[in-house]
Structure 1
Amino acid sequence: MDNNNRPNGSTSFTGLTLLSLLVGLVAAWLFFQSPPAGPTQQLGPALDSTALAGFRTDQWFLPDTAMLGFVEIPAGPFLMGSDAAVDTLAFDNERWSSEHAQQIVELPTFYIGQYEVTVAQFRAFVAATDLRVDPQMLESQPNHPVTSVSWPDALAYCRWLETTLKESPETPSRLRELLRDRWRIGLPSEAEWEKAARGTDGRVYPWGDRPRQDRANYAGEGTTPVGSFDCPDCPFGLADMSGNVWEWTRSPYQPYP
């Protein structure tokens, strides 16, 4: 989530992190309205409340925290980009330039979702909007991350969640205040996502500089419930910022910056 009119601030998505869910700002022209669903669309198996510990079944299955899972990322600089000499798995476009692998980037305060968007959360959106989707997207366990979501549908989820939280009397007061103060819910920029994932010290992974199978799901055996891996060393208390599934941002896939 971001404030659209903050002076000298960049626009920003809760993730797919007012909040960036891992979500910041989405311009209205990016909103995509999908066609209504036909009467035969299925939403998958009934939700099992025992699989949703830590989530609010009365709050669109968002995390059961004071901010419904939105975590504040403080304003300030961080080191963006990847040095191939240190991170051998980095993509070529993650270098800052041909001369400099990394660069200091200053960002304003934003919020991001503590977890990836879950099947239960996306199903609540589909049920409320009659969005037409592939039913297989909604057949995984409700506390697993939703997958195979198009970029327009990810944006549509963000806009729906923003409107829903604005209008609901049950929205936590702090969250409602931010939304009324011109903050918006949308996809994070690449810079916002990277700062939330790696922190401010330039580490390669959220927990340090070496891959660890006890910190992330990256063995290729399918998804795991969000937040399954304890990571006390990860910045900002976020989960699954490495591993599990890829996340959308609002930035084009192109070389930095």
Structure 2
Amino acid sequence: MERLSFASISSLLAVALAITLSSRAAASDAGPIAGNPLIEIPAGQFVFGNDDGPENERPRRVLEGQAFAINRTEVTNQQYRSFVKSTGHRPAFYADHPILGLDDHPVVGVSWSDADAFCRYYGLALPSEQQYERAARGTKGSRYPWGDAPADYTRANSGSDTCCSADDRDGYPMTAPADSFVTGKSAEGVLNLVGNVWEWTGDLFAPYEGGPPMANVGSYRVLRGGSWNSDPKHLSTTYRLAYDPDFRFSANGGFRCVRSAP
């Protein structure tokens, strides 16, 4: 048998280690939604909140998070249509739009209750704000899923520099396919947690613990992540958008689901 050199053995070990680390970083299972696996987010400490942005993002704290799993992408039109066909639930408002209604694009034109019903049908739930931030910011509290470098047209589907106009310099005049912008993925490999579409969370709009008082508490649900027509101010992992939960005509609002640990 041919003897392997030390360099050859080292190379083989390096490849094996890389494969092991890659598998750990992308831990997932197929989940109940066809074509949209659940990416596992481990338990542990993470940074929540932001002291440098709007008052409703304060205070910045380090929390102890529980393990959960989150959809790799936003829920697509095709996945939502399958839910509608199975349940008789009303279709998304933009289901027949020539761009917004494309099968592989994120579903838009859904109210909070529509999104909640979809997740519940599959035994899942809308993410809490804390779950969203942990998935999007990692453990160190990054400004973006990819780190702290400013957003650009290779990492996120976003709008112009002034709110709130579309900008096709990223290749898309409106929504992009849900599996686009892989270079903007999170540490665990979750896509488009910033940009493409705003995402419903399960939480009511309210001050954070220790934060300043706010108006309209309990009347709105929170959207996160910015969208295809968001300017840089709104395109971050900490920005909180209070929104009427019954409004289903937004062309830039979608969602994804989570499964919490038992």
Sort the TM-score into its range (normalised by shorter chain): 0.5 to 0.7
Identity of aligned residues (%): 41
Q: Which of 21, 24, 34 in structure 2 is aligned with 1:62?
A: 34
The correspondence of residues 229-248 of structure 1 with structure 2, limited to 5 A, is: 229-231=181-183, 234-248=186-200
Task: Structure 1 unaligned segments of length 5 or more: list them.
Answer: 1-55, 85-89, 97-101, 163-184
**Partner residue, 2:131:** 192
Amino acid at match of 1:197: A
Amino acid at match of 2:79: Q
2:184, 2:112 → 1: CA distance?
31
Amino acid at match of 1:79: V
Q: Which of 47, 65, 76 in structure 2 is aligned with 1:107?
A: 65
**Partner residue, 2:140:** 201
Check whether the contact 2:145–2:184 (CA below 8 A) recurs between aligned residues.
no
The secondary structure found in structure 2 opposite 1:235 is coil
Check whether the contact 1:138–1:146 (CA below 8 A) recurs between aligned residues.
no
Q: Which of 161, 168, 174 in structure 2 is aligned with 1:222?
A: 174
2:180, 2:122 → 1: CA distance?
24
**Partner residue, 1:161:** 122
**Partner residue, 1:92:** 55
2:201 maps to 1:249: yes
1:132-163 Cα offsets, whole Å, 9 max, x none, are 2355335411100001211111111112122x
Amino acid at match of 1:78: F
- The alpha-carbon deviation at position 94 of structure 1 amounts to 1.2
Amino acid at match of 2:49: G
1:158-209 Cα offsets, whole Å, 9 max, x none, are 12122xxxxxxxxxxxxxxxxxxxxxx1111100010001101111011122
Check whether the contact 2:93–2:110 (CA below 8 A) recurs between aligned residues.
no
Residues paired across the two proteins, number: 164
- Name the CA shift for 1:233/1:134 in 2 (closer, same or farther; >3 Å): closer
The secondary structure found in structure 1 opposite 2:107 is coil
Q: Which of 95, 105, 108 in structure 2 is aligned with 1:137?
A: 95
The secondary structure found in structure 1 opposite 2:47 is strand
- Name the CA shift for 1:144/1:232 in 2 (closer, same or farther; >3 Å): closer
**Partner residue, 2:50:** 82
RMSD (Å), alpha carbons: 2.1
2:202, 2:146 → 1: CA distance?
25
1:46-72 Cα offsets, whole Å, 9 max, x none, are xxxxxxxxxx9xx98622xxxx51010
Task: Structure 2 unaligned segments of length 5 or more: list them.
Answer: 1-29, 160-165, 167-172, 210-262
Q: By percentage of residues, which structure has more strand?
A: 2
Q: What is the TM-score normalised by the length of structure 1?
A: 0.59
- The alpha-carbon deviation at position 233 of structure 1 amounts to 6.3
Amino acid at match of 2:113: P
1:98-132 Cα offsets, whole Å, 9 max, x none, are xxxx1001111100000000000000011111112
Once superposed, which parts of structure 1, at least 4 consecutive aligned residues long, lie more than 4 Å away? none
Q: What is the TM-score normalised by the length of structure 2?
A: 0.58
Check whether the contact 1:60–1:121 (CA below 8 A) recurs between aligned residues.
no
Amino acid at match of 2:58: R
- The alpha-carbon deviation at position 225 of structure 1 amounts to 0.2
1:129, 1:143 → 2: CA distance?
21
Amino acid at match of 2:62: I
